[in-house]
């Protein structure tokens, strides 16, 4: 095998699988008292293998890792307990995955049906009877031209929407978006994985046409991506033009026709592009431009207006349409977000806010990632409402992703507009490292007059 990318995938997957067995056995031994982080780690392994295999057209590896991922996700959400029987099925499936990875050339022809059935039985068996069929009922997400793009189970769609996630169909051009920027699809998948969840990935050679058609110099690669960022914000993470980001409607709202090829399936046509951004992102670098910052500021102010000005106590910062399917699968309705007025100290956020009218401090902790964007947003809103100078204390922060960086910048811009100072203090290493990696350098800080926000970078 002389295919470098396949070899890279094989090597990475071997590495990823190496620690899985020990972790699963630790989980089994601890039973209900297992460390949730261990389950997260094993889940991430399966998820990452699935994503790469999808791009590489290693369909059997993709399908098997996908089913493993589904079961692990149920363990994460405690819908499924890690009993000996459950762990045995997962271990067996991982073992088989390892065999497939050692024979990539023939992996698509190798039989994994026993493992898939056992995993599916675990997944559906752990659900109430009325939801069991969601594991096998498929829906299709169409490409913009109406052709079938992805086939996804109702269960997976619901899982993707849990927590208020939006679902996007995103079109990349392998030539102009990746190859010319010296990025590989793996780089892209890795970056996006930090800000959301890549459900599926597919290269669409059919869209290029044949010799009888007009020449095309693009090769589309589609991603199905779930993310908490709203349609007008998500472009900053996806780094493609707005017209290539399609918001997939919530199940039931966009269904237009039955799909006879799929059991009880229906078509989920991606909606037309939702918003036209005023200015495209810079194509050659990732630095944030003034329009982008202004857009973030507007978004943040809008959220703030909803929070502080609305008469209703229930404020939805997520999709306007509630993620109905997500509620049914998780068994938990998304808790209505409390208004700041109802809970000024935001005790539930995990971020500690102290201070008075003149000066306040918001102690940020752990990994500031897309998963915690909602709570970070609320904590920032609360802090801005309380003090004229807000110090964001970073001493306990271990990492920052793009969603968090956006929120922090939006908080600074909103504060500035209201005469409130916002500064990052403490150990800014993780923040600065990430900011620089996105092109947010000392020049950017000076350009936008943000020296008081990021003093170490000025």
Partner 1 sequence: MSDVTRTGNKAVVTPSRNITAGMTDSLRKELKSLLDEGVTDLTIDFSRVEMLDSVGIGLLIAAHNSLLKEGAVLRLTGVNQDVMGLLSTMRLTSHFSIHSSHPS
Question: What is the Cα–Cα distance from 156 to 160, expressed in whole angstroms?
Answer: 6
Q: Is 190 in the site for partner 1 (CB under 8 A)?
A: no
Question: What is the Cα–Cα distance from 397 to 128, expressed in whole angstroms?
Answer: 39
Q: Is 418 in the site for partner 1 (CB under 8 A)?
A: no
Applying CB under 8 A, among 3, 29, 278, 347 the residue interacting with partner 1 is: 3
SS3 of residue 165 by DSSP:
coil
Question: What is the Cα–Cα distance from 87 to 100, expressed in whole angstroms?
Answer: 20
Shortest separation between residue 180's beta carbon and partner 1, angstroms: 8
Closest to partner 1 by CB, 211 vs 272, is: 211
Shortest separation between residue 150's beta carbon and partner 1, angstroms: 18
Determine contact, residues 447/417, Cβ cutoff 8 Å: no
Q: Which residues contact 59 (CB under 8 A, 6 or more apart)?
A: 53, 108
Of the candidate spans 88-96, 109-117, 201-209, 321-329, the one that interacts with partner 1 by CB under 8 A turns out to be: 201-209
Shortest separation between residue 8's beta carbon and partner 1, angstroms: 10
Closest to partner 1 by CB, 211 vs 311, is: 211
Whole-angstrom distance between the N-terminal and C-terminal Cα of the chain?
Answer: 50
User: Residue 336's closest CA among 364, 369, 305, 374?
Assistant: 374
Q: Which of residues 202-241 bind partner 1 (CB under 8 A)?
A: 203, 205-206, 208-213, 215-219
Closest to partner 1 by CB, 12 vs 218, is: 218
User: Residue 402's closest CA among 423, 374, 373?
Assistant: 373
Question: What is the Cα–Cα distance from 342 to 333, expressed in whole angstroms?
Answer: 20
Q: Is 267 in the site for partner 1 (CB under 8 A)?
A: no
Q: Is 121 in the site for partner 1 (CB under 8 A)?
A: no
Q: Is 109 in the site for partner 1 (CB under 8 A)?
A: no
Number of residues that bind partner 1 (CB under 8 A): 27
Closest to partner 1 by CB, 244 vs 372, is: 244
Determine contact, residues 421/388, Cβ cutoff 8 Å: yes
Q: Which residues contact 370 (CB under 8 A, 6 or more apart)?
A: 194, 195, 196, 227, 228, 229, 401, 402, 403, 404
Closest to partner 1 by CB, 209 vs 366, is: 209
Question: What is the Cα–Cα distance from 143 to 454, expressed in whole angstroms?
Answer: 42
Q: Is 398 in the site for partner 1 (CB under 8 A)?
A: no
Applying CB under 8 A, among 184, 286, 354, 423 the residue interacting with partner 1 is: 184
Token pair, residue 70, equals 């589904």
- Strand-pairing partners, residue 396, are 365
Shortest separation between residue 213's beta carbon and partner 1, angstroms: 7
Q: Which of residues 62-101 bind partner 1 (CB under 8 A)?
A: none
Q: Which of residues 28-57 bind partner 1 (CB under 8 A)?
A: 55-57
**Which residues would be at the binding site for partner 1 (CB under 8 A)?**
3-5, 55-57, 174-176, 179-180, 184-185, 203, 205-206, 208-213, 215-219
């Amino acid at each position: 095998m002389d295919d470098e990318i396949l070899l890279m995938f094989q090597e990475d997957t071997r590495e990823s699988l190496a620690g899985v067995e020990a972790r699963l056995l630790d989980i089994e031994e601890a039973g209900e008292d297992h460390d949730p982080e261990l389950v997260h780690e094993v889940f991430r392994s399966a998820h990452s293998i699935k994503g790469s295999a999808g791009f590489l057209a290693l369909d059997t590896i993709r399908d098997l890792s996908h089913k493993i991922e589904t079961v692990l996700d149920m363990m994460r959400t405690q819908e499924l307990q890690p009993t000996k029987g459950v762990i045995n099925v997962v271990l067996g499936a991982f073992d088989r995955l390892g065999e497939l990875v050692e024979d990539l050339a023939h992996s698509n022809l190798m039989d994994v049906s026993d493992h898939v059935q056992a995993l599916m039985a675990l997944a559906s068996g752990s659900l109430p009877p009325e939801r069991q069929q969601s594991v096998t009922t498929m829906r299709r997400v169409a490409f913009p031209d109406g052709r079938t793009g992805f086939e996804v189970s109702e269960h997976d769609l619901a899982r993707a929407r849990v927590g208020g996630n939006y679902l996007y169909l995103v079109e990349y051009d392998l030539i102009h978006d990746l190859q010319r920027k010296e990025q590989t699809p793996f780089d892209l998948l890795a970056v996006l994985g930090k800000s959301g969840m890549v459900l599926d990935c597919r290269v669409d050679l059919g869209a290029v046409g044949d010799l009888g058609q007009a020449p095309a110099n693009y090769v589309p690669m589609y991603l199905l991506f779930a993310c908490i960022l709203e349609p007008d914000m998500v472009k900053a993470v996806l780094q493609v033009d707005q017209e290539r980001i399609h918001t997939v409607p919530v199940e039931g709202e966009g269904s237009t026709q039955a799909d006879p090829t799929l059991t009880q399936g229906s078509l989920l046509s991606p909606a037309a592009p939702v918003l036209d951004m005023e200015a495209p992102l810079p194509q050659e670098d990732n630095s944030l431009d003034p329009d982008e910052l202004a857009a973030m500021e507007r978004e943040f102010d809008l959220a703030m207006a909803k929070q502080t000005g609305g008469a209703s106590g229930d404020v939805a910062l997520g999709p306007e349409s509630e993620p109905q399917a997500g509620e049914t699968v998780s068994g938990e309705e998304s808790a209505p977000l409390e208004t700041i007025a109802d809970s000024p100290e935001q005790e539930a956020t995990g971020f500690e806010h102290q201070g008075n009218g003149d000066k306040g401090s918001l102690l940020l902790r752990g990994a500031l990632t897309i998963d915690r964007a909602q709570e970070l947003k609320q904590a920032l809103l609360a802090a801005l409402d309380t003090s004229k100078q807000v110090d964001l204390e970073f001493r306990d922060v271990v990492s920052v992703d793009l969603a968090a960086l956006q929120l922090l910048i939006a908080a600074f811009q909103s504060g500035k507009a209201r005469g409130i100072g916002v500064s990052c203090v403490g150990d800014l290493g993780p923040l600065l490292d990430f900011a620089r990696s996105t092109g947010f350098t000392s020049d950017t800080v000076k350009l936008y007059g943000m020296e008081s926000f990021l003093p170490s970078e000025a």
